[in-house]
Amino acid sequence: MKTTNKAKKLLKSNNLTMLIVLLAMVLVSEIINPVFLSMSNVMNLLAQNSIIGVMALGMIFALVTGSFDMSVSSTGALTAVLSTYLFIRSGLAAGILVGLSVGLAVGLINGLLVTKIGINPFVTTLGTQTSVRGIVYIITNAKPVTGIPKAFNVIGMGKIGGVFPVPALIWIVLALLMAFVLRKTRFGQYVFATGGNKRAAWLSGVNTDFIKIMALIISGVFASIGGLIYTLRILMCTADGMTGYELKVMSACIVGGTSLDGGKGTILGCIIGTMIMGIILNILQLAGVSSFWQDAITGVILIVAVGFDSFTSKQRS
């Protein structure tokens, strides 16, 4: 009985549509290029998308509360830079700790500006994105920083049993954690209520400002985790690192069924969205399409996904 109910629920949900799209894409990709489903390509795909995937897990909180976070790319870059210095001088733990506090700080600033001053989240986070990127250039003087101990590479490039990439494992563990937070905790319920109807949530006793601030902090911290994986992958950092990631991360969320109006979104959808985006780019790579085209297509996908969401909600009303 219970399982049939669950099955019905899944059938009705958007996730299933997305899952079908994903499977169809896998099938098509396999037909186009038999290399696609090879073990090494699949693992490669997981590893490549884990940074976007992890950042999307944070971004979804901002989006579901009806907010927005354009600053994740710069937050990731600043994290990479500061942690690189600390990895070199003080070791792994210090680097990770300082790296995460970058996301916490940027998220807190975003949150306070959005809730306490009341600036539009898009403008706020676009502003912090630019400023934080400026700080990255100031610190690095636009020069790449290298010299992270090779041993740390395990986190960015390591493979468990020589097969399964460590970043993908981090992604999966964090996804499970965030699915729990979003579905099984009070905070998660408040996140949905705040995004679904801020006024009603507030009048029910939910401290909606706090929820919005926390959501932006989570988005910032996950951007930092993304930045850490990024820098431990290439064992260096550059001033222009992770440029354009905010749109990729947002596309992953929106393709995965997160609504820009807030109040709607799932972690599973978020993962599927990330994979769909990743596969599209992977196909283009395998087909040898230039990276300029990949950018152009990312933009188109974002607009199509948002358009689909807006259009269906327009139809409903």
Handedness of CA 196, 200, 204, 207 (dihedral sign): positive
Closer by beta carbon to another protein, 39 or else 117: 117
Q: Could you say which residues in the range 259-278 bind another protein, by CB under 8 A? A: 263-264
Tokens of 309: 């969401």
Indicate the residue type of 151.
A
Helix (H, G, I), strand (E, B) or coil at 117: helix
Minimum separation from the CB atom of position 61 to another protein (A) = 15
If one counts every other C-beta atom within 10 angstroms of the C-beta of residue 309, the result is 19
**Does residue 177 belong to the site contacting another protein (CB under 8 A)?**
no
Minimum separation from the CB atom of position 197 to another protein (A) = 4
**Does residue 197 belong to the site contacting another protein (CB under 8 A)?**
yes
Minimum separation from the CB atom of position 114 to another protein (A) = 18
Tokens of 203: 């009048």
**Sequential DSSP letters for 39-59:** HHHHHHHHHHHHHHHHHHHHH
Of the CA atoms within 13 Å of residue 307, those in its CB half-sphere come to 6
Minimum separation from the CB atom of position 1 to another protein (A) = 13
**Does residue 60 belong to the site contacting another protein (CB under 8 A)?**
no
**Does residue 207 belong to the site contacting another protein (CB under 8 A)?**
yes
Minimum separation from the CB atom of position 249 to another protein (A) = 23
What is the C-alpha separation between 252 and 56, in angstroms, rounded? 7
**Does residue 192 belong to the site contacting another protein (CB under 8 A)?**
yes
Which of 68, 171, 190, 230 binds another protein (CB under 8 A)? It is 190
What is the C-alpha separation between 96 and 268, in angstroms, rounded? 27
**Does residue 314 belong to the site contacting another protein (CB under 8 A)?**
no
Q: Could you tell me which of 81, 76, 140, 69 has the C-alpha nearest to residue 108?
A: 69
What is the C-alpha separation between 15 and 262, in angstroms, rounded? 17
**Does residue 215 belong to the site contacting another protein (CB under 8 A)?**
no
**Does residue 230 belong to the site contacting another protein (CB under 8 A)?**
no
**Does residue 189 belong to the site contacting another protein (CB under 8 A)?**
yes
**Does residue 179 belong to the site contacting another protein (CB under 8 A)?**
no
Closer by beta carbon to another protein, 80 or else 221: 221
Tell me which residues touch another protein (CB under 8 A): 184-190, 192-193, 196-197, 199-207, 263-264
